[in-house]
Amino acid sequence: MKKYNKITPEGTKDLLFEECLARRYVEQTLSDVFSSRGFNEVVTPGLEFYDVFDPDFSGISQETMYKMSDRHGRLMVMRPDSTIPIARLTATRLQTLPKPVRLYYNQKIYRSNPGLTGRNNEATQTGIELLGAPGRRADLEVIVTAVEALSRCVPNFRLELGHAGFFRALAAQLPIGDDLREDIRSTIESKNYAALNTILDQLENSRSVDAMRRLPRLFGGEEVFAQAAPLCSDETSSKTLAYLHELYQALVELGLGDRMIVDLGLVQRNDYYTGVIFSAYVENVGDAVLLGGRYDKLLAQFDTPMPAVGFGVNVDGLAELLLKQGKIPAATPVEVLVHSDEGYEIKALQYASRLAGQGCKCESSVFETREEALHYAKVRGIHRVDCVSDCVETINL
């Protein structure tokens, strides 16, 4: 019995007409920004070996990956992330290129979200990766490119700025194992204060425990840096906070102060982030429409260590928002229906090709009679029918 032949799998959907136009608009708009800044497009396979996304360094749990085996019995996954395969690609095929390497992508990722939680299991992402470039200048370039890309699609958004190293520096001072550290990170990410306090109450009171308790509340404007300074009890956390402050001030100089929030509780799921991390949100879209950061240790997993920074954009979220806002122009209507009288089919097809070559949007009639063609044109709202025989007769409706 065919139980599922008329529905799509959970977390997926068919796209129709205007939805496709919206997605293509976002993809093309973002691609234009990336290519204008010197980034070159790459596409990685939809199927990768499981080892590429080893959860020990990817931060992607195996439960969220769609898995299968190839004919040799090797474990495969449908691509759950774009940054990691691009790191693989750079390390194996582009290692001889002068640094930095500037790449952008536009492709789907697949993740099995528990209970969906409002997310799609199949999502289209586009983004950039700047590989082989350390430091503040590279971080600024990538963040500014993210701002420009989003501004082309949605003028009003909020940019959140954090640093993966700040949480790690504070967590390193706690007498806990990896599992409990991940539990703490998860509660901070979700700003679940009650769950965080429950975990920390089990630890002996200390300056480090107090710092971790306050971390998810450290968000706002420049005042956050002064609030966080007393929590820094070692050189690593102090340097991390100072660098983030310097980056924040540079972005303010670029005119981004009114749309930027510092969030020291911004701790991404992906374990490969090592430095600055950032995300962007727009009104009426629940999840972040952009996620990015620095990942200086990821390429060492592919035996080609180099610094790197990048971001990915949720194309589907932006496309859906633009549709709701009515900012996607409707598809150009068909201007002419070309109908052939009996025996003139080839001539009509040639005529339709000429019209299309002149920029006219036209359809070829598949009907046997003029009456059927005219009826179809009226139903479809096509106001002109060109009937081809020894000559071309135009009928305006």
- Predicted local distance difference test score (pLDDT) of residue 58: 84
Percent of the chain with pLDDT over 90: 66
Query: Under 8 Å CB-to-CB from 66, ≥6 apart: which residues?
Result: 77, 78, 80, 110, 111, 112
For the record, the structure tokens of 323 come out as: 């549709």
Give the lowest-confidence range in 37-51, 132-146, 249-263. Answer: 249-263
Q: What is the mean pLDDT of residues 21-33?
A: 96
Q: Of the candidates 102, 105, 142, which has an alpha carbon nearest to the alpha carbon of residue 127?
A: 105
Give the lowest-confidence range in 2-16, 143-157, 238-252, 314-328. Answer: 2-16
Q: What is the DSSP string of 332-372?
A: PPP-EEEEE-TT-HHHHHHHHHHHHHTT--EEE---SSHHH
Q: What is the mean pLDDT of residues 185-208?
A: 83
Q: What is the mean pLDDT of residues 178-201?
A: 84
**CATH number at 336-396:** 3.40.50.800
Is it the case that residue 190 has pLDDT exceeding 80? Answer: no
Q: What is the mean pLDDT of residues 168-183?
A: 83
9 pLDDT tier (thresholds 50, 70, 90): confident
Is it the case that residue 277 has pLDDT exceeding 60? Answer: yes
> What CATH fold (topology level) applies to the domain 17-157+282-324?
BirA Bifunctional Protein; domain 2 (3.30.930)
Task: Write down the pTM of the prediction.
Answer: 0.90
Is it the case that residue 117 has pLDDT exceeding 60? Answer: no
Amino acid 115 reads G
330 vs 102: CA distance, rounded Å: 34
316 vs 391: CA distance, rounded Å: 48
Q: How far is CA 377 from CA 104, 224, 351, in A?
A: 43, 64, 18
Give the lowest-confidence range in 312-321, 326-335, 382-391. Answer: 326-335
Q: What is the mean pLDDT of residues 116-141?
A: 89
283 vs 155: CA distance, rounded Å: 11
Q: What is the mean pLDDT of residues 17-41?
A: 95
Q: How confident is the model over 46-87, as pLDDT tens digits?
A: 999 999 998 888 888 888 999 999 999 999 999 999 999 999
Q: What is the mean pLDDT of residues 14-41?
A: 95
DSSP secondary-structure letter at 301? Answer: G
- Predicted local distance difference test score (pLDDT) of residue 270: 58
Q: Of the candidates 248, 243, 271, 247, which has an alpha carbon nearest to the alpha carbon of residue 261?
A: 248
- Predicted local distance difference test score (pLDDT) of residue 136: 95
Q: Hey, is 190 helix, strand or coil?
A: coil
166 vs 26: CA distance, rounded Å: 34
Q: How confident is the model over 10-23, as pLDDT tens digits?
A: 888 988 999 999 99
285 pLDDT tier (thresholds 50, 70, 90): confident
The residue ranges of every structural domain in the chain are: 17-157+282-324, 336-396
- Predicted local distance difference test score (pLDDT) of residue 138: 97
Mean residue pLDDT of the chain comes to 91
For residue 101, report the phi and psi dihedrals to the nearest 5 degrees: -100, 125
- Predicted local distance difference test score (pLDDT) of residue 231: 85
Q: How confident is the model over 333-375, as pLDDT tens digits?
A: 999 999 999 999 999 999 999 999 999 999 999 999 999 999 9
Q: What is the mean pLDDT of residues 103-124?
A: 84
Q: What is the mean pLDDT of residues 269-280?
A: 85
162 pLDDT tier (thresholds 50, 70, 90): very high
134, 142 Cβ separation under 8 angstroms: no
328, 18 Cβ separation under 8 angstroms: yes
- Predicted local distance difference test score (pLDDT) of residue 118: 55
Q: Which helix (H) or strand (E) holds 247?
A: helix 235-253
For the record, the structure tokens of 222 come out as: 């420049």
